Amino acid sequence: MLEINNLHVKVEDKEILKGVSLKINAGEVHGIMGPNGSGKSTLAQVLAGRETYEVISGEVLYRGKNLLAMTPEERAREGIFLAFQYPVEIPGVSNLYFLKTALNAIRRHRGLPELDAMDFLAWVREKMKLVQMDESLLHRPVNDGFSGGEKKRNEILQMAVLEPTLAILDETDSGLDIDALKIVARGVNSLRSDERAILLITHYQRLLDYVVPDRVHVLYDGRIVKSGGRELALELEKRGYGWLEEETNVGVVR
């Protein structure tokens, strides 16, 4: 589904991704862990089409197509969804209107009829149950004045409503209590299917207790320095990232 080959990315003349390669098949869940500043969000944002990051070299294929040539909205319509580490507040735009506009843009692209206000409301209510979000949040401006946890839930709600093919979650579990974490996990698990793939960026292996990954990768200073099964997450949590430096000989002093 997603194939990243030797991706180099810079921002403001600073190279951040220094040759990332990664392959995710349909039906799989991958986890990415790594210390602060290692480039996890950069990777996620580049996949979503953020233009402030400059791709120096490498390629990204999404279902066989050149992802990097697509605009952010084309990527979304083709089924890519990024749950932001820091969801953006948009005063003046109601959450409901935002979700409906997004869903209908994607449905149009897929050749499906647009949902009217009534059908949409029924659709979104169904999804809200899944994330146990208060309906009043639908009528508030997007993320505006939402608590940290509400913002994260709102990301999961959007994901549930838009039903992406490839979902990338950038630290959606950070700052959540255990109940909220379970809700996020439930949202992710409900999306899991043979036709979909999920990329979970996280600092904590506890999310991976609830959403069991097929593979775990360590991103360290812009490179994937180690990949393994879910046990790798446990090991990272126990030992931190220091040992990787010797073992993998990445030779970077931080």
Return the number of the residue (203 or 230) whose C-beta is nearest Mg ion. Answer: 203
Instruction: Indicate whether 38 belongs to the interface with ligand ATP (CB under 6 A).
Output: yes
Q: What is the side-by-side order of every strand in the sheet holding 65-66?
A: 14-24, 2-11, 54-62, 65-66
Site track for Mg ion across 63-102, x = CB under 5 A:
----------------------x-----------------
- Please identify, using beta-carbon distances, which residue of 91 and 242 lies nearer to another protein: 91
Q: Decide if residue 205 touches ligand ATP (CB under 6 A).
A: no
Exactly one of 65, 125, 139, 239 binds another protein (CB under 8 A); that residue is 139
Contact between 172 and Mg ion by CB under 5 A: the answer reads: no
- Residue of 37, 91, 175, 229 interacting with another protein (CB under 8 A): 91
41 sits near Mg ion (criterion: CB under 5 A): yes
* CB 34 to another protein: min, Å: 22
* Alpha helices in the chain, H assignment, sequence order: 40-48, 72-77, 95-109, 117-131, 148-162, 178-191, 206-210, 231-239, 242-248
Give the nearer residue to another protein in terms of CB position, either 77 or 215: 77
Tell me the closest approach of the beta carbon of residue 230 to another protein, in angstroms: 28
